[in-house]
Structure 1
Amino acid sequence: MKIRLLLAAFVLLLVLCGSVFGEGVSSRGPSRSFRRSLISSLPAGIAGGVAGSTGTTLLFPLDAAKTLRQTNPKVYSSLGSSLRALLTTRANKVGVTPATLRRLYSGVGVASFWSFPSSFLYFYTYTAFKGALPLSGPLLHSVSAASGNAVSSIIFVPKEMIKQRSQMTGMKVGECISTIFRDKGLKGFYVSYIPTLFRNVPSAVLRFTIYESLRSNIEAVKSIGVDGGDERGGSGGVMFAVAGGVAGSAASLLTTPLDVLKTRMNTGDFSGVVQCAKYIARNDGMKGLFAGAGARAGWSCAFSAVGFGVFEAVKSALENGSENRNFGRVGVGDGDGVGGNCNCVGGRCELKKLQ
């Protein structure tokens, strides 16, 4: 019931945003402008999907260790101790064996596979809203990030549920799915939807606001050629990755209690957020809400650095490829390049704005 109410509220938010958008740009045709934003955001969505899958696969062992630490902070006092536990063999020795590798990567398939559509929806919605809403600055980034998160969580939440159950129990993905569905039905996959939004929306707002601010500074530096590279190359990729790492670690550190609640609800049996929070406070103290804060910040730093770095690189490649294809089609049969959709002056060709 709560999930349906939340989704209904989000749909209402979309309608209200659309109304505001329509009032702000009615003279330009809001529906046409919004459709253009949806189409132009496709490269960003694809780039986001690739970035999400890449980051999830590369950093999955660290994520597994973080999940184990948050599930039982009294037993696992650090990320290192939980990582050693995952690498401990039956002979009570720490080593890399087929069994420990299976434990480290239990659930990686479903996580990586579903990371693509989840991240696609996230970046696609974020970019589409950012290009369509009549807002600016941090407010624009905040609303766009919150919208992208609400949409992508429809896929992200059940994916996280299956992944974390698999990490903690060692069950195969199919077994996890059948167990959850048998015990709680379809709603069992969404028990952490509310705490996930409580965690992800503030985290996304902080992450994207910080990143966009750093990104604008990077673009300003690149535009004057300080990095010595071309407009999209040079050290820009590294700078985007660093900016993503800084934004990710800051956002994750501040929202760790919300992440702990989400993890406990995914791996435990709680009826609601309040019951889960009381249980943690009673058994682990207030510090239990910050279990794994350092590890999570470090993991998020690496994940965001990889994610934003890959995102910018793939998006740039897709946009450049699209521009090159459009350029190759323009002015075909016009000979001197005059007329059609192309203006050529002094050896430089530019696309005319389509009417």
Structure 2
Amino acid sequence: MGSTEINWDRLDKTKFYVVGAGLFTGVTVALYPISVVKTRLQVASKETMERSALSVVKGLLRTDGIPGLYKGFGTVITGAIPARIIFLTALETTKAASFKMIEPFKLSETAQAAIANGFAGMTSSLMSQAVFVPIDVISQKLMVQGYSGHAQYSGGLDVARKVLRSDGIRGLYRGFGLSVMTYSPSTAVWWASYGSSQRLLWRFLGDGDKNEKDTPSLPKIIFVQAAGGIIAGATASCITTPLDTIKTRLQVMGHEQRSSVKQVVKDLIKEDGWKGVYRGLGPRFFSMSAWGTSMILAYEYLKRLCAKDDETAGLQTGIISID
């Protein structure tokens, strides 16, 4: 880790949170429809005609127009802001602490990046789940309402009221264990892959051993970060899609359809064979790669934008963190 990196202690925290909320909201607007399509594919019954991403999109546009691609969006945005504040704070503080803890072991730079980023990603995901899971439950019920036999709702509050009435607070945390098992490893794999792949890419491009005065150009930095995001998204989606499919099915079930993980797996295998647990892999692969790459570029830009005044000279040369 060199002095050119923008770490947690070098950020204007107020600006970081305020600007970050706006920046990530913009990215969410752009990519949200992918999540809707992925969720609908994962919960589709055998009788459902719309079994491909394209047919789901066509069906939504035919029945609801463009707003159909944004079912549950208001709920997600409302809950995403506090969840992201928790996530980003935990991510940056844990990552800095992790690098210090493993420094005495004299590991390679790539191994250090994988371990520190992976542990920070897992920890931050665990801490943000308390806010994220109820939002996930509500938004996913809105995403699939009226589809494949699922109930209709008048909005996020209506979902919350009905879930609380039928299942109590536990209903809003349905799939919490699976969410932790899905998102924590997924986030750990994503950040570990991102951190280590960047190091490998820099080495491949011949920038790994240059001294700090030879700062890479901004286009090259953006290319490495984007490539790292795609690699990380591909790795994480392939590993964790089965858990995500099971979790989604459990979360959108009504009170009268309550089921177990074992039964959900049996149903998926009965409908589509073992490939059933990978239902929605295409959209999820694209989603994680697109979300990850867009978010990481926005995130690194945000850090560059929110560096304290004494970092201005460094920023003008295009210096940003590659962790």
Alignment of structure 1 residues 180-195 onto 2, 5 Å:
180-195=163-178
Is residue 226 of structure 2 the alignment partner of residue 241 of structure 1?
yes
Is residue 89 of structure 2 the alignment partner of residue 124 of structure 1?
yes
Matched-pair contact (CA < 8 Å) for 1:261–1:276: yes
Specify whether residues 276 and 45 from structure 1 end up closer, same or farther in structure 2 by C-alpha distance, changes over 3 A only: farther
Matched-pair contact (CA < 8 Å) for 2:11–2:306: no
Specify whether residues 50 and 201 from structure 1 end up closer, same or farther in structure 2 by C-alpha distance, changes over 3 A only: farther
- Alpha-carbon distance in structure 2 between the residues aligned to 1:224 and 1:39: 25
Specify whether residues 290 and 236 from structure 1 end up closer, same or farther in structure 2 by C-alpha distance, changes over 3 A only: same
**Structure 2 partner of 1:164:** 140
Larger relative contact order (Cα-Cα within 8 Å, sequence gap ≥ 6): 2
Which of 83, 86, 92 is residue 60 of structure 2 equivalent to? 86
The residue identity in structure 2 corresponding to 1:203 is S
**Structure 1 partner of 2:320:** none
Deviation, 1:175, is: 1.1
What SS does the aligned partner of 1:255 have? helix
TM-score w.r.t. structure 2 length? 0.76
The unaligned stretches of length 5 or more in structure 2 are 1-6, 104-111, 146-151, 314-323
Deviation, 1:279, is: 3.1
TM-score w.r.t. structure 1 length? 0.70
Alignment of structure 1 residues 100-115 onto 2, 5 Å:
100-115=65-80
- Alpha-carbon distance in structure 2 between the residues aligned to 1:219 and 1:316: 19
Q: Looking at CA atoms only, which structure, 1 or 2, has the larger radius of gyration?
A: 1
Deviation, 1:196, is: 0.9
What SS does the aligned partner of 2:144 have? helix
**Structure 2 partner of 1:277:** 265
- Alpha-carbon distance in structure 1 between the residues aligned to 2:201 and 2:128: 28
- Alpha-carbon distance in structure 2 between the residues aligned to 1:45 and 1:317: 8
- Alpha-carbon distance in structure 2 between the residues aligned to 1:281 and 1:70: 13
- Alpha-carbon distance in structure 2 between the residues aligned to 1:157 and 1:211: 24
What SS does the aligned partner of 2:51 have? coil
The root-mean-square deviation of aligned C-alpha atoms, in Å, is 2.9
- Alpha-carbon distance in structure 2 between the residues aligned to 1:259 and 1:48: 27
What SS does the aligned partner of 1:59 have? helix
* Cα offsets for 1:174-201 (capped at 9, x unmatched): 2111111111111111111111111112
Which of 24, 28, 34 is residue 62 of structure 1 equivalent to? 34
Specify whether residues 300 and 119 from structure 1 end up closer, same or farther in structure 2 by C-alpha distance, changes over 3 A only: same
Is residue 190 of structure 2 the alignment partner of residue 216 of structure 1?
no
**Structure 1 partner of 2:299:** 311
Alignment of structure 1 residues 1-355 onto 2, 5 Å:
43=13, 46=17, 49=21, 52-72=24-44, 74=46, 75=48, 76-89=50-63, 99-133=64-98, 134-135=101-102, 137=112, 138-169=114-145, 171=153, 172-217=155-200, 233-268=218-253, 269-321=257-309, 323-324=311-312
Matched-pair contact (CA < 8 Å) for 1:118–1:152: yes
- Alpha-carbon distance in structure 1 between the residues aligned to 2:117 and 2:70: 34
The residue identity in structure 2 corresponding to 1:68 is R
The residue identity in structure 2 corresponding to 1:299 is S
Specify whether residues 193 and 151 from structure 1 end up closer, same or farther in structure 2 by C-alpha distance, changes over 3 A only: same
